[in-house]
Structures are given as structure tokens and as C-alpha cells.
């Protein structure tokens, strides 16, 4: 508006009515005697993009010259012992500081080092790499996932081929049972689920009719409750989804975005796989081994047990890739974004097999949501077996962004800040506040790397 409005070269209107009035007035004013048009022409003649650009460049050049002088002064001071030794010079030891050694950080670190020849420092505040996908051998020698069951699946050939550079695979299709009405039945709900639950013998066609008879059609599917009730009705919703979701998220399904429960399909055939992706496999020697291979490059240094804030000033880097929580990065300027957390209760049992499926979900009993027996996932043979119970909670390590409209609104504000912060790239489940699976994090990280590589 400045200087156009102030110099009365244009009229400013706030509302539709004001706009119409202003346009009418402007048309009346545009006469040969008013001189409005010649004033506008005269003003526009003085400005041009070339002039604005030249002025900007002049400013930039003078800022760079000032900084060069300051750098020289600091360096002289440091040599003379007058400055702290970690004075920031323009010689960077690392090109990139990567915060977080999970999928998002590790993929970008690997690409920058191997593909672009950049020097990369990866820091993680935990004492291990791999982020939430970290696995390790427990004290009994059983391979377990510290942060709950991680099953790899993707439809992306690019993602699968990329990861295949760092691991061999073990074919594995995941299957889950749900404990409902005293029985263990397949989830996602399929033909066998309803036949077993209701003692019926329906075929696929009849199952479809059965679901239709229960479904309550909805014009707009907005919430997770709508998704299930519109497909299979209220009774199955309450048996399989309502209470599991309340436990997991601390919210009713009617308060959660439809995308949450839409992850779980309903089937009228006998397919009892949890996922139907083209590629379903587990890293043959575990996720951590795969991360080790990814990060094993002379240009990559890994620093564990370190919050990036402890070292960012001491070890200056040209740019940063950040995969921690986005609200934390901006010191909660727009308030806290809710992330759901979990307590994991790991146990080892002195028996070869503990339960009849890799994962059993408990929608209605117990405080935990599910129990995982790792040997099914890893294929390990061992005389003992290790399992984990998941107890959801609100506070603690951030594991799940909570998809609902009000959180999305807050995230949008952080996203605008992130977009306006030069030299820092935000990636992953926590920094982009997206309920991403591992393969989606890899895909996002590969895409971000490609963007960085254009200017790197
Ligand atoms: P993370 O793995 O969270 O890594 C971020 C890292 O940043 C962390 O290690 C953290 O310590 C570090 N960090 C944060 N702040 C700082 C800081 N200030 N300084 C230094 N370091 C910092 N996906 C699937 O595809 N299949 C599954 O079966 C599956 N199961 C899951 C089960 C559970 C219980 C959970 C919680 C997730 C599951 N996921 C699954 C999702 C999967 O874990 C994520 O998609 C993926 O691991 C996210 O990777 P990331 O690198 O974005 O984040
Ligand atoms: N869900 C449910 N009952 C189940 C399985 C899933 O209500 O038996 C809902 C629940 O809200 C859960 C969501 O579907 O959080 C997604 O399930 P998924 O197994 O994909 O969760 P994740 O493995 O990401 O924890």
C-alpha cells in the first residue's frame, strides 16, 4: 500500500461494497483534467524491477563486505588469543548438520554424502541410530524393536530399491488378530472375521450384503467414526474400533480425522494380511544393521547422546536438516502440537512361542492396545521369545502426530515459519507433523534431498 495508497495513486478497499464504491470513484476521477493517470504514469516511470534488483544487490554486496571485515577482525582476535577458539569463520567443517538419525535424517545424510560429496554431521539425542525403527538384541539374545513393532511395506519401487542398497530382505507378510467377544479373529475385518464372530458361513457376496445391511450411509465422511460406521455399522465399530482408538489416541474416533481409521480396510474376501502393498519385507539382519550400512561413509560423522542445541554454535554448518518435533524447534511459539506417546513393556518368556499371531490387538480389554511377538517378524529361531505391550499416553517421547483439524491449523502456522526459515530443511514424521509410515519418510527424504541437491 505504501507508497501507492498514501500518494493516492490507487484506492484501497476492505470489503466488496467498498471495492465497488472505490472503483466507481476511480472511474469518475480518471478525467483529462484530474491528471490522475499522468501522475500514475509519472510514478511508474521512476520504478522498475531492474532498479529494485540493483538496489537489493547493492545492499547485499555491502552486507557481505561488512561481514568479511568482521570475519577478518574475529580471526585476528582469535589468533591473538582474544576470542573463544570456536569463532565462526566461513570455513565450515561440515556442510550439513542433520538432526535425528531415524529414517528421515539418515536417508538425507546418506544421499548428501554419497551422491553430492557433502560433509555431514548427524546428531541424535538418543544413544543409538535408527530413530523409532531401532532394533537390538535384548539380554536374552532375541532381536526386538525397542519402540514397538515396525513392519516394512511399500508400493514404491524407488523406495524399495533405494533401501535394498543397504540390506537384504526377508519376505514377510504381516497378520494381526483382534481379541473380540472372547475370540481371536482377523483384523482387518474380513469374511472369516464375521463368519467366526457370528457363527455364520457366508460367502463373499453374502458378506457384502451383510455389511450393507449394517452400514449407516453418510453423505460426508469426515471423521474416523464416519469411515467405519458408513461401511460396517455401529456394532462392529464398537467391537473393533471405538475403544482401541480411544485408548490409542485419548480421543473418540468422531474427533479424529478420517485418515486414521481409513488405514484399516474392510474386506469381503479371506485375505487376512494387514497390508496389501507390492513390497512387504523385513531387513534380513534388522533395521539397525541397515542404518549402519546407510551411515557408513567417510563423509558422515555420527554424534549420539547429543541434543543439536548443545553443539550447533560450536560446530557451525552451512545448512541444517531437522527431523525432530517442529513445535519444539520454534520453542512452542504457537503453542504445543499434541503428539501421542507410548509406554513399552518388554518381556521375555521361557517358551518358544507366546501367542498365536505376530500381533494381537485388544480393542476392549486391558489398558494396552496390542501385544507383539518379535520372532514372527524377524524369523529368528530361539528357545525363548520376547514380546512387547503398548500402553498409550499423552506425555513422553513424541511418537504419533494427532491428525485432527485443529492440530492441522496450528501445524500450518509452524509450516509457514519453517518455510520462511532459510537454510533449514524440515523432514519426517515429527517435523512435518504427518502420520507417516517408514516408506513415506524415505520417499519424503529422497524428494527433499533432490530439492537440496539442486542448490547444494
Ligand atoms: P524418528 O524415527 O522419530 O527420528 C527422529 C529422531 O530425531 C529421533 O531419534 C530423535 O531422538 C531425534 N531428535 C529429536 N529431537 C532432537 C534434538 N533436539 N536433537 C537431537 N536429536 C533429536 N512405520 C511403518 O512403516 N511400519 C510400521 O509397522 C510402523 N510401526 C510403528 C509402530 C510404532 C509404535 C511407532 C511409534 C511408529 C511406527 N511406524 C511404522 C512409523 C515409523 O516409526 C516412522 O515412520 C519413522 O520411524 C519416522 O522416522 P523419522 O526419521 O521421521 O523420525
Ligand atoms: N484401529 C482400531 N482397531 C484396531 C486396529 C486399528 O481401532 O484393531 C485404529 C486405531 O485408531 C489405530 C488406527 O486404526 O490407531 C491405525 O491402526 P494401525 O495399526 O495402522 O496403527 P499403528 O501401527 O500406526 O499404531
Q: Which residues, in sequence order, are CB contacts of 147 under 8 Å at separation 6+? A: 132, 133, 134, 342, 344, 399
Top pLDDT among 454 and 205 is at: 205
**49 Cα–ligand 2 center, Å:** 54
Top pLDDT among 421 and 68 is at: 421
Pocket test for ligand 2, best of 224, 263, 358, 392 (most atoms within 8 A of CB): 263
Residues 37-54 have a mean pLDDT of 64
- Quick one: pLDDT at residue 39? 75
- Quick one: pLDDT at residue 66? 60
Look at residue 45 and tell me whether its pLDDT is greater than 70.
no
Write out residues with Cβ below 6 Å of ligand 1: 99-105, 123-126, 131-133, 147-151, 307-308, 323-324, 342, 399, 428-430, 436-439, 441
Residue 107 and residue 251 in one domain? no
The atom of ligand 1 lying closest to the CA of 154 is 25
Dump the DSSP string for 118-162. Answer: --EEEE-SSSSSSGGG-EEE-TTS-EEETTS----EES-HHHHHH
**15 Cα–ligand 1 center, Å:** 47
Look at residue 85 and tell me whether its pLDDT is greater than 70.
no
Contact between 79 and 416 under an 8 Å Cβ cutoff? The reply is no
- Asked if the structure places residue 136 within a domain, the reply is yes
Look at residue 427 and tell me whether its pLDDT is greater than 80.
yes
Per residue in 330-364, pLDDT tens? Answer: 999 999 999 999 999 999 999 999 999 999 999 99
- Asked if the structure places residue 168 within a domain, the reply is yes
- Asked if the structure places residue 27 within a domain, the reply is no
**399 Cα–ligand 1 center, Å:** 7
Per residue in 149-161, pLDDT tens? Answer: 999 999 999 999 9
Residue 297: all three cell numbers together: 561413509
Residue 327 and residue 208 in one domain? no
Residue 333 and residue 411 in one domain? yes
Residue 160 and residue 196 in one domain? no
Residue 196 and residue 220 in one domain? yes
**347 Cα–ligand 2 center, Å:** 22
**264 Cα–ligand 2 center, Å:** 7
Look at residue 164 and tell me whether its pLDDT is greater than 90.
yes
CA dist., res. 94 & res. 180, Å (int):
54
DSSP 8-state class, residue 257: B
CA dist., res. 158 & res. 390, Å (int):
32
Residue 430 and residue 441 in one domain? yes
- Quick one: pLDDT at residue 32? 64
- Asked if the structure places residue 276 within a domain, the reply is no
CA dist., res. 60 & res. 187, Å (int):
61
Element (H, E) at 229: helix 224-236
- Quick one: pLDDT at residue 69? 63
- Quick one: pLDDT at residue 48? 59
**195 Cα–ligand 2 center, Å:** 22
Residues 83-97 have a mean pLDDT of 66
The atom of ligand 2 lying closest to the CA of 224 is 11
The atom of ligand 2 lying closest to the CA of 149 is 23
Residues 292-309 have a mean pLDDT of 98
Residues 286-293 have a mean pLDDT of 98
Residue 242 and residue 102 in one domain? no
Question: Taking CA 89 as the corner, what is the angle to CA 87 and CA 92, rounded to the nearest 5 degrees?
Answer: 110
Share of the chain above pLDDT 70, in %: 87
Give the residue, by CA position, lying nearest to ligand 1 atom 10.
100
CA dist., res. 286 & res. 402, Å (int):
28
Give the residue, by CA position, lying nearest to ligand 2 atom 2.
241
Residue 316 and residue 419 in one domain? yes
**360 Cα–ligand 1 center, Å:** 22
CA dist., res. 374 & res. 380, Å (int):
8
- Quick one: pLDDT at residue 59? 59
Contact between 12 and 1 under an 8 Å Cβ cutoff? The reply is yes
Which ligand has its closest atom nearest to the C-alpha of 294?
A: 1
What is the torsion angle, in degrees rounded to the nearest 10, for the CA atoms of residue 437, residue 438, residue 441 and residue 447? -120
Pocket test for ligand 2, best of 178, 245, 364, 429 (most atoms within 8 A of CB): 245
Which ligand has its closest atom nearest to the C-alpha of 310?
A: 1
The atom of ligand 1 lying closest to the CA of 100 is 7
- Quick one: pLDDT at residue 79? 39
- Quick one: pLDDT at residue 80? 41
Q: Check which CATH number belongs to the domain holding 324 and give it.
A: 3.40.50.720
- Asked if the structure places residue 358 within a domain, the reply is no
Q: How many folded domains does the chain comprise?
A: 2
Look at residue 51 and tell me whether its pLDDT is greater than 90.
no
Look at residue 233 and tell me whether its pLDDT is greater than 90.
yes
Measured from the Cβ of residue 256, the count of other Cβ atoms closer than 10 Å reads 22
Question: Taking CA 26 as the corner, what is the angle to CA 20 and CA 28, rounded to the nearest 5 degrees?
Answer: 105
Look at residue 78 and tell me whether its pLDDT is greater than 60.
no
- Quick one: pLDDT at residue 50? 55
Backbone angles phi, psi at 421, to 5 degrees: -105, 105
Pocket test for ligand 1, best of 149, 247, 438 (most atoms within 8 A of CB): 438
Query: Across-strand partners of 95?
Result: none
Residues 302-318 have a mean pLDDT of 95
Q: Which domain holds residue 232?
A: 176-261
Residue 107 and residue 168 in one domain? yes
Residue 199 and residue 257 in one domain? yes
Residues 272-287 have a mean pLDDT of 98
Contact between 283 and 378 under an 8 Å Cβ cutoff? The reply is no
Top pLDDT among 55 and 384 is at: 384
Residue 244: all three cell numbers together: 482401541
Question: Taking CA 265 as the corner, what is the angle to CA 259 and CA 266, rounded to the nearest 5 degrees?
Answer: 135
Closest to 373 in 3D by CA, of 397, 389, 350, 391: 389
Which ranges constitute the DSSP H helices of 270-404? Answer: 287-295, 308-311, 326-329, 374-378
- Quick one: pLDDT at residue 387? 98
- Quick one: pLDDT at residue 54? 55
**400 Cα–ligand 1 center, Å:** 9
Dump the DSSP string for 10-71. Answer: S---SSHHHHHHHHHHHHHH-STTT-HHHHHHHHHHH--HHHHHHHHHHHHHHHHHHHHHHH
Residue 327 and residue 409 in one domain? yes
**409 Cα–ligand 2 center, Å:** 24
Per residue in 104-121, pLDDT tens? Answer: 999 999 999 999 999 999
Q: Which residues, in sequence order, are CB contacts of 26 under 8 Å at separation 6+? A: 11, 36
Reported confidence tier of residue 403, pLDDT bands at 50, 70, 90: very high
Closest to 148 in 3D by CA, of 133, 136, 138, 169: 133
Write out residues with Cβ below 6 Å of ligand 2: 178, 187, 240-241, 244-245, 248, 260-261, 263-264, 361, 363
Q: Rounded mean pLDDT of the chain?
A: 91
Query: How do the residues of the chain divide into helix, strand and coil, expressed in percent and rounded to 5?
Result: 40, 20, 40
Pocket test for ligand 2, best of 180, 225, 248 (most atoms within 8 A of CB): 248
Pocket test for ligand 2, best of 178, 186, 197, 244 (most atoms within 8 A of CB): 244
- Asked if the structure places residue 167 within a domain, the reply is yes
Residue 299 and residue 436 in one domain? yes
Look at residue 58 and tell me whether its pLDDT is greater than 70.
no
CA dist., res. 265 & res. 192, Å (int):
14
- Quick one: pLDDT at residue 295? 98
**131 Cα–ligand 1 center, Å:** 5
Residues 50-65 have a mean pLDDT of 55
Amino acid at each position: 500500500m505504501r507508497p501507492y495508497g498514501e500518494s493516492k495513486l490507487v484506492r484501497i478497499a476492505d470489503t466488496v461494497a467498498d471495492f465497488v464504491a472505490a472503483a466507481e470513484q476511480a472511474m469518475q476521477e480518471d478525467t483529462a483534467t484530474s491528471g490522475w493517470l499522468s501522475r500514475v504514469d509519472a510514478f511508474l516511470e521512476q520504478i522498475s524491477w531492474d532498479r529494485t534488483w540493483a538496489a537489493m544487490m547493492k545492499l547485499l554486496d555491502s552486507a557481505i563486505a561488512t561481514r568479511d571485515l568482521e570475519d577478518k577482525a574475529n580471526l585476528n582476535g582469535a589468533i591473538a588469543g582474544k576470542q573463544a577458539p570456536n569463532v565462526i569463520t566461513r570455513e565450515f567443517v561440515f556442510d550439513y548438520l542433520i538432526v535425528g538419525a531415524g529414517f528421515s535424517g539418515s536417508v538425507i545424510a546418506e544421499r548428501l554424502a554419497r551422491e553430492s560429496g557433502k560433509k555431514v554431521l548427524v546428531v541424535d539425542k538418543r544413544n543409538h541410530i535408527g530413530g523409532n525403527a531401532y532394533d537390538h538384541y535384548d539380554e536374552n539374545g532375541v532381536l526386538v524393536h525397542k519402540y514397538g513393532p515396525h513392519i516394512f511395506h511399500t508400493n514404491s519401487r524407488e523406495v524399495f530399491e533405494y533401501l535394498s542398497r543397504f540390506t537384504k530382505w526377508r519376505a514377510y507378510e504381516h497378520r494381526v488378530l483382534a481379541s473380540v467377544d472372547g475370540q481371536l479373529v482377523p483384523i482387518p475385518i474380513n469374511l472369516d472375521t464375521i463368519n467366526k464372530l457370528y457363527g455364520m458361513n457366508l460367502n463373499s457376496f453374502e458378506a457384502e450384503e451383510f455389511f450393507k445391511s449394517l452400514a449407516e450411509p453418510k453423505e460426508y465422511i469426515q471423521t474416523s467414526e464416519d469411515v467405519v460406521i458408513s461401511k460396517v455399522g455401529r456394532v462392529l465399530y464398537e467391537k473393533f474400533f471405538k475403544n482401541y482408538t480411544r485408548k490409542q489416541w485419548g480421543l473418540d474416533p468422531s474427533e479424529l480425522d478420517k485418515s486414521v481409521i481409513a488405514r484399516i480396510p474392510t474386506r469381503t474376501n479371506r485375505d487376512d494380511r494387514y497390508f496389501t502393498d507390492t513390497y512387504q519385507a523385513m531387513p534380513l539382519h534388522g533395521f539397525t544393521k541397515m542404518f549402519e550400512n546407510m551411515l557408513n561413509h567417510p563423509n558422515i560423522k555420527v554424534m549420539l547422546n547429543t541434543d543439536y542445541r548443545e553443539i550447533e554454535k560450536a560446530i557451525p554448518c552451512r545448512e541444517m536438516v531437522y527431523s525432530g518435533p517442529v513445535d519444539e524447534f520454534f520453542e512452542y511459539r504457537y503453542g504445543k502440537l499434541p503428539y501421542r506417546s507410548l509406554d513399552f513393556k518388554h518381556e521375555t518368556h521361557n517358551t518358544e512361542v507366546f501367542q498365536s499371531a505376530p500381533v494381537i490387538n485388544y480393542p476392549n480389554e486391558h489398558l494396552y492396545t496390542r501385544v507383539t511377538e518379535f520372532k514372527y517378524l524377524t524369523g529368528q529361531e530361539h528357545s525363548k521369545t520376547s514380546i512387547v505391550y503398548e500402553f498409550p499416553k499423552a506425555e513422553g517421547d513424541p511418537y504419533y502426530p494427532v491428525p485432527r483439524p485443529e492440530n492441522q491449523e496450528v501445524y500450518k502456522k509452524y509450516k509457514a515459519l519453517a518455510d520462511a526459515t532459510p537454510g533449514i530443511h524440515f523432514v519426517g514424521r515429527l517435523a512435518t507433523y504427518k502420520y507417516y509410515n517408514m516408506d513415506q519418510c524415505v520417499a519424503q527424504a529422497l524428494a527433499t534431498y533432490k530439492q537440496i541437491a539442486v542448490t547444494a
